[in-house]
Amino acid sequence: MVEEILSYNKSFVENRRKQGLDKQISSHAQKGIMIFTCMDTRLVGLVEDAMGFERGQVKVLKNAGNTLRRGGEDVLRCIALGALVMGIKEVFVVGHKDCGMRKLNAEKIRQAMRDRCIDESVIASVDLEEWAGIIPDEGENVREVVKAVKEYKFIPKDVEVHGMLMDPYSGELQVVPAE
């Protein structure tokens, strides 16, 4: 795969240079927006397109299920840094329907770990549902994450935080109301 990527990359870069697309742009989000969404394959590129954003306009943060596990310190840190020093004024938590983190269960993870020779004592050392960050409902998770972002002590109070759910096929968005 590495060879394939490097070979493709060579012509990709040449083309970008030819078209003058390699010019420097700001690392800050031109629209002052950060999106926190799921790493789901179906959302790659779709989230930005469906919201009308292009490269350079927004920051995008992803993990499995757009969840905050164990307080979600790492995710909240990124959002706070974005707000404090990178000009982020609005945050969109974008979950999606049919999320793998809702459909997953402890037994599936346990079996996958056994199949891949993870030590039994390691498997027994955690609550697998908690460890994986399984969510009972996509909308409810978005609502909880929005609340946690708003309440995080390092995020300035003037930052707006919105919750949305996306259809992973049509890209249709719906607002997740606060309560």
Taking the complex as a whole, the smallest distance from the CB of residue 138 to Zn ion amounts, in Å, to: 8
How many residues sit close enough to Zn ion to count as binding (CB under 5 A)? Answer: 3
Residues 6+ positions from 81 with CB-CB distance below 8 Å: none
DSSP state of 136: S
Contact at 8 Å (CB) between 171 and 49?
Answer: yes
Contact at 8 Å (CB) between 166 and 47?
Answer: yes
**DSSP letters along 36-97, please?**
EEE--GGGTTHHHHHHT--TTTEEEEEETTS--GGGGHHHHHHHHHHHHHS---EEEEEEET
Work out whether 138 is an interface residue with Zn ion (CB under 5 A): no
Taking the complex as a whole, the smallest distance from the CB of residue 40 to Zn ion amounts, in Å, to: 4
Taking the complex as a whole, the smallest distance from the CB of residue 150 to Zn ion amounts, in Å, to: 22
Stretch that binds Zn ion, among 3-11, 39-47, 107-115, 139-147 (CB under 5 A): 39-47
Stretch that binds Zn ion, among 30-38, 73-81, 86-94, 118-126 (CB under 5 A): 30-38
Q: 97-126 mask for Zn ion (x: CB under 5 A)?
A: --x---------------------------
Nearer to Zn ion, 64 or 86 (CB): 64
User: What distance in Å separates the CA atoms of residue 150 and residue 160, rounded to the nearest whole number?
Assistant: 8
Could you tell me which residues are beta bridge partners of residue 115? Answer: none
Taking the complex as a whole, the smallest distance from the CB of residue 175 to Zn ion amounts, in Å, to: 18
Work out whether 38 is an interface residue with Zn ion (CB under 5 A): yes
* Cα distances (angstroms) measured from residue 8 to each of 11, 14, 21, 22, 70: 6, 10, 17, 16, 40
Structure tokens given for 109: 């993870």
Taking the complex as a whole, the smallest distance from the CB of residue 22 to Zn ion amounts, in Å, to: 33
Work out whether 40 is an interface residue with Zn ion (CB under 5 A): yes
Work out whether 35 is an interface residue with Zn ion (CB under 5 A): no
For residues 145-164, which are near Zn ion according to CB under 5 A?
none
Residues that bind Zn ion (CB under 5 A): 38, 40, 99
